[in-house]
C-alpha cells in the first residue's frame, strides 16, 4: 500500500502547486491514500469554507492542521461538519472538531489518521501529546489496520522523541509546522516510518512562506509590519510511504519535492 503525506499548504502558491501536481504524483506512485496538512492555506493563516471546498474537489482522503486551525474564526462553525478535517487531538475534549478520523482505503484497509500538537515553544500549550496518543491507541488499536500521525510541533527533539515513543505501534510519524523539509527520513527499528518535518508546500523564495522583505523588517529593524504570504513559484513537499498491508508497518519512506513548472 502506498501513502502520500503532503506538508503544510501555504497560501495561494501552495494551493496552486498542489492542484497542478497532486493527481500526477498519485498516478506516478500508485498512491492508495493521501493526507495533506492545510492549516496555512488561507493567506498563510487558517482555513475558510471556500478554500476547504477547493480541497474537497481534490483526491485527498484526510486533511490535518495545527496551531493556526482557528485563525479564521469561521472554522469553528464548520469543522464539525467535516470529520475529514482534523484539528490537534490534544485540544480539550469539548473543542469543536476531532483530531482522529478513520477511513477505508480502496484496498479495504482501515486507515486511522491522528493529528496532535507539541508543547515546546507552541501556543496554545495543549495537553501532553504523549499521554494523549497513548490513550487513543489503547482505545482504537482493534479498529484500524494502519495509523498515520501528523505531529505538528516546533522542537526537533520533541518530534524525534515522539517517533521513538510510537515506534512499532503506528505506521508513520511525520512532523509538520516548521515548513523546512528535513533529510532524516527513515524507518525506525520497530517499523514506524519517521521524518522530523515534511516541509511546506508553498513558495520557497520566502521566509517559511512569508514575504521576505516584511520578515526582515520585523527581525532586523524590529518593526511590527504585517506579514503577507510570498508570491511566485512554489514547491510541493511531502513523503511517500510504502506500507506492509499484512503488518500495518512501513517498509520504506521517501522524500518528494516537486517544483512548479
pLDDT of residue 9: 98
- In the block, cell 483530531 appears at 99
pLDDT tens digit string along 178-213? 999 999 999 999 999 999 999 999 999 999 999 999
DSSP state of 227: P
* Residue-range domains of the chain with CATH: 2-259 (3.60.21.10)
User: Is the pTM here over 0.85, yes or no?
Assistant: yes
**Residue 41, SS3 per DSSP:** coil
Mean model confidence pLDDT for the chain: 97
Catalytic site residue from 68, 82, 152, 179: 68
pLDDT of residue 261: 73
DSSP-H helix ranges across the chain: 11-28, 49-56, 75-78, 129-140, 156-166, 212-220
Residue 68 bears catalytic tag:
yes
Span 57-64, mean pLDDT?
98
pLDDT of residue 142: 86
Amino acid at each position: 500500500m502506498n501513502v502520500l503525506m503532503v506538508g503544510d499548504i501555504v497560501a495561494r502558491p501552495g494551493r496552486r502547486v498542489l492542484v497542478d501536481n497532486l493527481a500526477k504524483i498519485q498516478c506516478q506512485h500508485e498512491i492508495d491514500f493521501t493526507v495533506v496538512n492545510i492549516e496555512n492555506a488561507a493567506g498563510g493563516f487558517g482555513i475558510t469554507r471556500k478554500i476547504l471546498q477547493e480541497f474537497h474537489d481534490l483526491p485527498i482522503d484526510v486533511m490535518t492542521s495545527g496551531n493556526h486551525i482557528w485563525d479564521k474564526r469561521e472554522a469553528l462553525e464548520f469543522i464539525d461538519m467535516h470529520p475529514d478535517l482534523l484539528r490537534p487531538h490534544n485540544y480539550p475534549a469539548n473543542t469543536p472538531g476531532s483530531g482522529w478520523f478513520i477511513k477505508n482505503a480502496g484496498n479495504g484497509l482501515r486507515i486511522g489518521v491522528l493529528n496532535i500538537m507539541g508543547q515546546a515553544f507552541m501556543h496554545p500549550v495543549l495537553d501532553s501529546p504523549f499521554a494523549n496518543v497513548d490513550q487513543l491507541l489503547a482505545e482504537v488499536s482493534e479498529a484500524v489496520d494502519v495509523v498515520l500521525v501528523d505531529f505538528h510541533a516546533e522542537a526537533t527533539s520533541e518530534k524525534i522523541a515522539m517517533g521513538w515513543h510510537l515506534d512499532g505501534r503506528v505506521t508513520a510519524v511525520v512532523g509538520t509546522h516548521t515548513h523546512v523539509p528535513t533529510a532524516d527520513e527513515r524507518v525506525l527499528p520497530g517499523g514506524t516510518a519517521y521524518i522530523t518535518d515534511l516541509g511546506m508546500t508553498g513558495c520557497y523564495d520566502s521566509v517559511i512562506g512569508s514575504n521576505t522583505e516584511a520578515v526582515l523588517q520585523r527581525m532586523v529593524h524590529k518593526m511590527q509590519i504585517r506579514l503577507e504570504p510570498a508570491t511566485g513559484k512554489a514547491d510541493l513537499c511531502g513523503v511517500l510511504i510504502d506500507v506492509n498491508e499484512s503488518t500495518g508497518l512501513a517498509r520504506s519512506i521517501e522524500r518528494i519535492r516537486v517544483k512548479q513548472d
